[in-house]
Amino acid sequence: MNSRKKITQLATVLILLVTTVTFAQNKNERASLEVDGVCLMCKDRIEKAAIRTKGVKSAIWNVDTHELKLIYDARKTNLDSISKKIASVGHDTKKLKASDEAYATVHPCCKYRDDEVQEDHKN
């Protein structure tokens, strides 16, 4: 009877360990951010800024929808940090507006705040 109790306890501990390891491995988060931009140069700049954020594994920005789809390690970063990195290269997000200094560094073709530039990119 005593060995049976030990086997039951051992089985319980093993189940808890397997469950803990399974949950610990689920570290990747998926999210999307709306990021302002108008062209493929913006796409390149936005995606590079996101990828250069520690913990970001994938970043794909859509020129038409302005949606940045992300996969990132939530233990290493969060959406606020990613937004800050994107704003630092001159692109606004819903949460954070790029500083005037950062915005001034983007190529003239990429001045997404300018109505005339936005019109030029619709064609």
Q: Are 62 and 36 in contact (CB under 8 A)?
A: no
* Whether residue 121 has pLDDT greater than 90: no
pLDDT for the residue numbered 5:
72
pLDDT for the residue numbered 106:
96
Residue given tokens 């003239």 in the structure block: 108
* Whether residue 32 has pLDDT greater than 60: yes
Residue given tokens 């997404």 in the structure block: 112
pLDDT for the residue numbered 27:
87
Provide the 3-class DSSP secondary structure of residue 53.
coil
What topology does CATH give the domain 28-122? Alpha-Beta Plaits (3.30.70)
Sorting pLDDT into bands at 50, 70 and 90, what band is 13? low
pLDDT for the residue numbered 96:
96
* pLDDT > 70 fraction of the chain, expressed in percent and rounded: 82
Provide the 3-class DSSP secondary structure of residue 111.
coil
Q: Are 70 and 59 in contact (CB under 8 A)?
A: yes
How many angstroms separate the first and last alpha carbons of the chain?
A: 81
Q: Mean pLDDT over residues 65-71, rounded?
A: 97
* Whether residue 34 has pLDDT greater than 90: yes
Sorting pLDDT into bands at 50, 70 and 90, what band is 21? low
* Whether residue 104 has pLDDT greater than 90: yes
pLDDT for the residue numbered 20:
52
pLDDT for the residue numbered 45:
98
pLDDT for the residue numbered 48:
98
Domain ranges of the chain: 28-122
